[in-house]
Amino acid sequence: MSWKTWFGTWGVKQAKERAAAEKASRSTSQATIIEEIKNDDTHPAPGTTPDTGGVAIIHSHHLNQGTSFSARARDELHLKGLVPPAQESIQRQEDRVRAYLNTLSSPLEKHVYLGRLRAEDTALFYRVVVDHLTEITPLIYTPVVGEACQKFSLIYTPGTVEGLFLSIADKDNLDEILSNWPYHAPDICVMTDGSRILGLGDLGLNGMGIPIGKLSLYVAAAGFDPSKTLPVTLDMGTDTEKYLNDPLYLGTRRKRPADEEFYAFVDAVMAAFKRKWPKLLVQFEDFSSEHAFGCLERYRNQYLTFNDDIQGTGAVILAGFINAINLSRTPLPNHRVLFFGAGSAGVGVASQLKEHFIRAGGMSEDAARDAFWLVDSKGLVTFDRGDKLPQHKTLFARRDNEGKQYKSLKEVLEYVRPTALIGLSSQGGAFGEEAVRAMKEFNERPIVFPLSNPATNAECTFEQAMNWTDGKVIFASGTAFPAYEYEGKTVEPGQGNNMYIFPGLGLGAILAKAEHVSDDMVYQTAATLAEALDEEERSHELLYPHLTRIREVSALVAKDVVKAALREGNCDQEDVLKLFGAVSRQPFHDDAVLSDPERNEALLAFVKKRMWDPHYAEDEEVLVGELKHKASL
Ligand SMILES: NC(=O)c1ccc[n+]([C@@H]2O[C@H](COP(=O)([O-])OP(=O)(O)OC[C@H]3O[C@@H](n4cnc5c(N)ncnc54)[C@H](O)[C@@H]3O)[C@@H](O)[C@H]2O)c1
Ligand SMILES: O=C(O)C[C@H](O)C(=O)O
Ligand SMILES: [Mg+2]
């Protein structure tokens, strides 16, 4: 053996021994710490550990009041010296948050800062969101949440618990893991498996940003109690090599499971939820298409659940479409709708629109279906294209193409001559000038909805659509585009994003104590949202209400969801039953009573009363007493 080889071997041996010794000492000391914690039955004096005394209040994001603690609270809760002396209103604290946001240059930094605020002072965070929806929503939700997901493993900061990670390897220990959840029994859960996050693909565990972002809107837009929201990411691996090879990736390093293993795990999760929190509403979010449809069919009658990308998107686009039809002046049955993208969202929206063509257009099922053409990555979806279609595409596959296949968007456009072009393909820029100009050639007022998210995936921009249609386009996108000045007039684009639906749908379902989320409840959300435009919004030809009105709109949506549940015997809310003279879980069809204005107003008031409004407790007596109790002082 040469000295070099000998030295190398010796070095490796030494390093191995060192590592083994370190590991042993680490595990011994960890084991010791765990034992010490377990056996510690002493009760530390208030304030002597960070988990007791007044400081526990500062560390509790639901109790923290930032710099708003009164002099008395500071005194009695042992907070003096721990917070700066200035005693400020929540509004002044909001000013500071926004002033600080203005100093940050990148949207991701703003997202991270706001996330920290949510984790440390919940009331202040939501006050800022609710008071500045247009400014803050894009930072905590689409589009910035897209980048935050892509970098989730990088920006993750330990020390905050914002959601549950459920790993497939823990399939048999789910009850134990759920019992670790430290907050109240949740009302609402948004759950993803990270396999199709916005139009960004399979992000694995990094998808956690989406449930957190969606639930922030449940709170801000529909007044859910933040301590009763549950973000969940199912960690089942990822097929994205980049993450599997990223040393910082926080998820399980394995490829995604085949269907059998996938469904066995999701079955186990749903059953565990039901055991632990029987009334929980579970919103499925950003699952890859086939699993999105598969889970919806599998669970919709057994559990209280819906799929946001299929049903929420379907409803929000139907609402915008109802208003677009009025602006287009083309009667409903004459519309021909081309979908670019035939995944969960494309088929979900087509299904919802088809339902409307039947209900409001008086069309037969077949005639309604014939008003839709779907395009996927292989071209127009037809039965004789030669590939095996997944079940959801067969719902709208064409038979009338006479053996001819249409591949490019240009070919399909010429063949179909649609009145509406809807993009749900995640292919940024796919609606080029030629395609959009063709839409203007076919129609006086073409409907063009590039709905893919985030903004970089939108099939075209608002500015492009305006310029290429001589300002005639009826437009909505998934991510908000800025208003555009066209021929001296400022025109506002629509934002067709399911955030106008899911918060109100969820609230209605919970308040009705519904057993399931039915098709009627979903359809009703679209009808209500379409109706929710006020005079001023109508006069500006808007398709959706201003974002600043979203709480008011969610309340209206929730109210009508409760009524839809009542109609089909899916309601068990005592106050509501009493108000309408209905019987629990019995269908109620008295239209005169259901449309009675006084009862509707009372129902709306009932809904609004249950919406959490972000604030610090005002009654000092109650506040100090309650906080003392919570901090065991
Ligand atoms: N605005 C909203 O509220 C909203 C709601 C849900 C989804 N979305 C967006 O819609 C997009 C699609 O979501 P999904 O769940 O349906 O995804 P998906 O992956 O299931 O579907 C994408 C579809 O696009 C098709 N496609 C891909 N490349 C194409 C190409 N070059 N030409 C034509 N078609 C092509 C695919 O074949 C597939 O049918 C995403 O970007 C998502 O963010 C928006
Ligand atoms: O998350 C969004 O902004 C909308 C939608 O659910 C999506 O998947 O794109
Ligand atoms: Mg989604």
Mean pLDDT of the chain: 92
**How many CB atoms sit inside 10 A of residue 168's CB?**
21
Residue in 347, 343, 321, 319 with CA at minimum distance from that of residue 332: 321
Tell me if 202 CB under 6 Å of ligand 2. no
Cα(162) to centroid of ligand 2, in Å?
A: 20
The string of pLDDT tens digits covering residues 379-406 is 999 999 999 999 999 999 999 999 999 9
Residues composing the chain? 633
Residue in 531, 530, 553, 541 with CA at minimum distance from that of residue 483: 541
Confidence of residue 56 (pLDDT cuts 50, 70, 90): confident
Sheet containing 494-495: order of strands = 379-380, 372-376, 337-340, 420-423, 447-450, 474-477, 494-495
Model pLDDT, residue 57? 83
Q: Find tokens 């995936």 and name the residue.
A: 457
pTM value > 0.90: yes
Between CA 547 and CA 134 the distance in angstroms is 6
Whether the per-residue pLDDT at 598 is higher than 50: the answer is yes
- Report whether 497 belongs to an annotated binding site: yes
Alpha carbon 391 to its chain's center: 25
The string of pLDDT tens digits covering residues 248-284 is 999 999 999 999 999 999 999 999 999 999 999 999 9
Annotated catalytic residues are 141, 214
For a pocket test of ligand 2, which of 217, 497, 500 has the largest count of ligand atoms closer than 8 A to its C-beta?
A: 497
Whether the per-residue pLDDT at 4 is higher than 90: the answer is no
Between CA 254 and CA 237 the distance in angstroms is 5
Average pLDDT over residues 217-233: 97
By the 8 A CB rule, do 303 and 209 touch? Answer: no
Q: Which residue's C-alpha comes closest to atom 6 of ligand 2?
A: 309
- Rg over alpha carbons for the chain, rounded to the nearest Å, is 27
Cα(198) to centroid of ligand 3, in Å?
A: 6
Model pLDDT, residue 15? 45
The string of pLDDT tens digits covering residues 180-200 is 999 999 999 999 999 999 999
By the 8 A CB rule, do 570 and 585 touch? Answer: yes
Pairwise pLDDT comparison (270 vs 29), residue with the higher score:
270
Atom nearest to 285 CA in ligand 2: 6
Q: What residues does the ion ligand 3 have nearby, CB within 5 Å?
A: 286, 309
Q: Kindly state the percentage of the chain with pLDDT values over 70.
A: 90
φ/ψ of 126, rounded to 5, equals -70, -30
Angle CA 408–411–417, to nearest 5: 125
Average pLDDT over residues 430-437: 98
Confidence of residue 619 (pLDDT cuts 50, 70, 90): low
Model pLDDT, residue 26? 45
Average pLDDT over residues 579-596: 98
Model pLDDT, residue 5? 37
Model pLDDT, residue 7? 35
Confidence of residue 133 (pLDDT cuts 50, 70, 90): very high
Average pLDDT over residues 588-597: 97
The string of pLDDT tens digits covering residues 136-152 is 999 999 999 999 999 99
Model pLDDT, residue 9? 40
What's the longest Cα–Cα distance across the chain? 98
Whether the per-residue pLDDT at 31 is higher than 70: the answer is no
